[in-house]
Amino acid sequence: MSPEPSAGVLLDHLFRHQAGRMVAHFTRLLGPARMDLAEEVVQEAMLRALQTWPYTGVPENAPAWLFRVAHNAAIDALRRSHLAQEKTESLVAELSSSLTPQEDPDLEEQLRDDELRMIVMCCHPEIPRDAAVALSLKTVGGFGVREIARAFLADDAAIAQRLVRAKRQIRDRRLTLEMPRGAELEHRLDSVMEVIYFMFNEGYAAHEGEELIRADLCLEALRLGQLIAASSIAVPKVHALVALMAFHAARLRARTDESGDLVLLDSQDRSRWDSRLIAIGFHHFDRSISGDTVTSYHAEAAIAATHARAPHPDATDWPMILEFYDHLLAMNPSGVVALNRAVALGKVHGADQALAAVDTLAKDPKLRDYYLLLAVRGHILLELARPGEAANCFRAALEKRCSAPERRFLERKLTECRERAA
């Protein structure tokens, strides 16, 4: 008889999370130029788990088991490789001196450091941002090519290409896992934050695509943000970014109803907001305030915090939010920010003013055809009891590229216009 397979179920995302830290760990030991080998031995460890755990049960310390198998696979691979004998032996010695998690309490610390160095390297300015995001997800995040492709609505081959190019950059430019210092660190940190925020927004944006994997993207961005916030390289703006992501992530499950339809902030059931994430948000928000630099992350976090503080929509401090938007717009004069500001303006000074602001924005040819601008304009016109014109806006918005839930949302609005006109 085979031993009774352990009743223990695998922790959610155990493989993904372990894969991320293992790849970071073995890349440090083997060197960034051998990142592919690091990924291979991690894959091999997972395969071994797949082949044995169903029959032997899940080992008591599953992460340590995976580490040990990957570790042995790395040594085997090095011995089989065509590296010079000396080089092989020095790498094997290096590997052998690294302990498995169960044997060394400091290793947890070391692993966090490995992950941190890895993400900092992946976000090197020489690597294009798209590729840096894909590489970070693949290596530190433990995502597969297909999952990254699904999250970005790209095809597998395009993502695989992006990864190959990023790894080539790492080899050709001999990038290391050494932590940059001084001004270079500051610069790099900006690029790390950009990559993380980009990752988060890709997950958050209500494009089409598989919802689950996109929420995973948000949570991974949040995890990476927290990793950096907890490290020695953290500065106040990192906390602002983490706060901002935590506040938004808290609302993820309230943003859609049972049928997957979009629910706007005002109509969300606030009891479905994730209070744990909101608490994390405030924790980091408090830490973001120290220091004297104010970044756009600060302004965005402040806006999100103001929403999070309101127990119901009517309790929202819109004048405060408008003020934050003014700051944000001064730092980041983008059309999307201006559009959001127009909404806040309407809440404070009335729909007339909001309409005037949106119409000014619509003069910008880049924004004129943006479906969100059209949708916002329709919304304001409906508020001004001009359902005919509002309907025109929603119809025009429907002609633009948007996701299925957004489309259904616009169609519901159109129906509302017709009812109001009748």
Partner 1 sequence: MALFMLLLHGDNSGFAKLSPEEMQKATEKYMAWTKKPFTRDSHRLAGEPGRVIRMEAGKPSIKDGPYSETKEVLGGYYTIEAANYDEAVKLALENPQLEYGGSIEVRQVYGT
Window of 11-19, 103-111, 303-311, 332-340 that interacts with partner 1 by CB under 8 A = 11-19
Q: Does 51 bind partner 1 (CB under 8 A)?
A: yes
Encoded tokens for 316: 């929202």
The contact pattern for partner 1, residues 123-152, with x = CB under 8 A and - = no contact, is -------------------xxxxxx-----
Give the helix/strand (H/E) hosting 356.
helix 351-361
State how far the alpha carbon of 404 is from the alpha carbons of 191, 223, 269, in Å.
Answer: 33, 29, 22
Q: Distance (Å, rounded) from C-alpha 355 to C-alpha 144?
A: 45
Residues 68-107, one symbol each (x = binds partner 1 by CB under 8 A, - = not), give ----------------------------------------
Residue 267 in contact with partner 1, rule: CB under 8 A: no
Residue 410 near residue 387 (C-beta atoms within 8 A): no
Q: How far is CA 306 from the centre of its chain?
A: 22
Q: Kindly report the length of the chain.
A: 422
x/- letters, 358..397, toward partner 1 (CB under 8 A): ----------------------------------------
Choosing from 30, 35, 46, 414, the residue that interacts with partner 1 (CB under 8 A) is 46
Only segment of 44-52, 124-132, 184-192, 221-229 that touches partner 1 (CB under 8 A): 44-52
At its nearest, how many Å lie between partner 1 and the CB of residue 161? 16
Q: Any idea what DSSP says for residue 3?
A: P
Q: Residue 142: left if φ>0, alpha if ψ -120 to 50, beta else—which one?
A: left
Angle, helix 145-152 to helix 211-229, in steps of 10 degrees: 100
Per rule CB under 8 A, is residue 157 in the interface with partner 1? no
Count of residues that bind partner 1 according to CB under 8 A: 30
Q: Does 212 bind partner 1 (CB under 8 A)?
A: no
Q: How far is CA 362 from CA 4, 76, 335, 355, 384, in A?
A: 67, 63, 10, 10, 18
CB of 344 to partner 1, least distance (A): 39
Question: What one-character-per-residue DSSP string does 223-275 give?
Answer: HHHHHHHTSTT--HHHHHHHHHHHHHHHTGGGSB-TTS-B--GGGS-GGGS-H
Which lies closer to partner 1 via its Cβ, residue 49 or residue 118?
49
Least CB distance to partner 1 at residue 166 (A): 18
DSSP string, 46-87: HHHHHHHHHHH---TTHHHHHHHHHHHHHHHHHHHS-S-HHH
Which residue lies nearer to partner 1 by CB, 56 or 392? 56
Cα of 67 vs its chain's centroid, Å = 26
Q: What is the closest distance, in whole angstroms, from the C-beta atom of residue 348 to partner 1 in the complex?
A: 45
67 binds partner 1 (CB under 8 A): no
Residue 10 binding partner 1, by CB under 8 A: yes
Q: Which residue has the tokens 């089409």?
A: 208
Nearer to partner 1, 221 or 354 (CB): 221
Span interacting with partner 1, options 43-51, 233-241, 290-298, 343-351, rule CB under 8 A: 43-51
Single out the segment in contact with partner 1 by CB under 8 A; choices: 14-22, 91-99, 109-117, 182-190: 14-22
CB of 51 to partner 1, least distance (A): 6
* The two structure tokens encoding residue 230: 């907890």
Q: Are 299 and 321 in contact (CB under 8 A)?
A: no
When asked if residue 223 is in the footprint of partner 1 (CB under 8 A), the reply is no
Confirm or reject binding of residue 64 to partner 1 (CB under 8 A): no
* Backbone dihedral region for residue 64 (phi beyond 0: left; psi -120 to 50: alpha; all else: beta): alpha
| The binder of partner 1 chosen from 29, 31, 52, 256 (CB under 8 A) | 52
Smaller CB distance to partner 1: residue 20 or 346? 20
200 forms part of the interface with partner 1 (CB under 8 A):
no
5 binds partner 1 (CB under 8 A): yes
What are the tokens at 75?
Answer: 């040594």
Whichever of 16 and 408 has its CB closer to partner 1, that residue is 16
Q: How far apart are CA 379 and CA 340, in angstroms?
A: 13
CB neighbours of 105 closer than 8 A, spacing ≥ 6? none
> Which chain residues interact with partner 1 by CB under 8 A?
1-2, 5, 9-10, 13-16, 18-19, 42-43, 46-47, 49-56, 58, 142-147
